[in-house]
Amino acid sequence: MILIFKEQIKREISLYLESNDSGDVLPPILWDSLRAVLRRKIIAFSSYKKKIINEKTEELQNKRRELERQHKLSSGQKNHRKDIDSLAAQEI
C-alpha cells in the first residue's frame, strides 16, 4: 500500500511540474502550490487508510462477538475459545 502511495506521489509531482512549470512562474509560488496539491493527496490517502483499518477492526469485533455468543449458547459443546483467541491475536 505504501509503495503504491509513493508511486502516486511521484506521478502527481511529475504531472504537476509538467503542467505548471512553464518558466514564467516564480519557484516559491510553484513550490507552495505543489505543497498544497501534495497535502490534499496525503490527507486523502490517510483518510482512506483509516477507513480500511476501521472496517477491519469492526469486522473483527463482530466476529469476536459472534464467537462469544456461540460460546455462551453452546456452554462448552465446542471449544470456541480457541477461535476467539486467534481473532484477538490477528493483526489489523
Is 36 within 8 Å of 65 (Cβ atoms)? no
Domain total of the chain = 1
Q: What is the phi/psi pair of residue 22, to 5°?
A: -95, -5
> Per the domain annotation, does 42 fall within a domain?
no
> Which tops the pLDDT comparison, 1 or 16?
16
Determine the structural domain holding residue 55 and report its residue range. 50-92
pTM: 0.67
Query: pLDDT tens-digit profile of 23-79?
Result: 888 999 999 999 999 999 999 999 999 999 999 999 999 999 998 888 788 765 556
* CA-to-CA dists, residue 73 to 10, 29, 66, 70, 78, angstroms: 54, 66, 11, 5, 10
Is 72 within 8 Å of 81 (Cβ atoms)? no
> Per the domain annotation, does 1 fall within a domain?
no
| DSSP class of 76 | T
What is the rounded CA–CA span in Å between residue 45 and residue 6? 11
> Per the domain annotation, does 3 fall within a domain?
no
> Per the domain annotation, does 84 fall within a domain?
yes
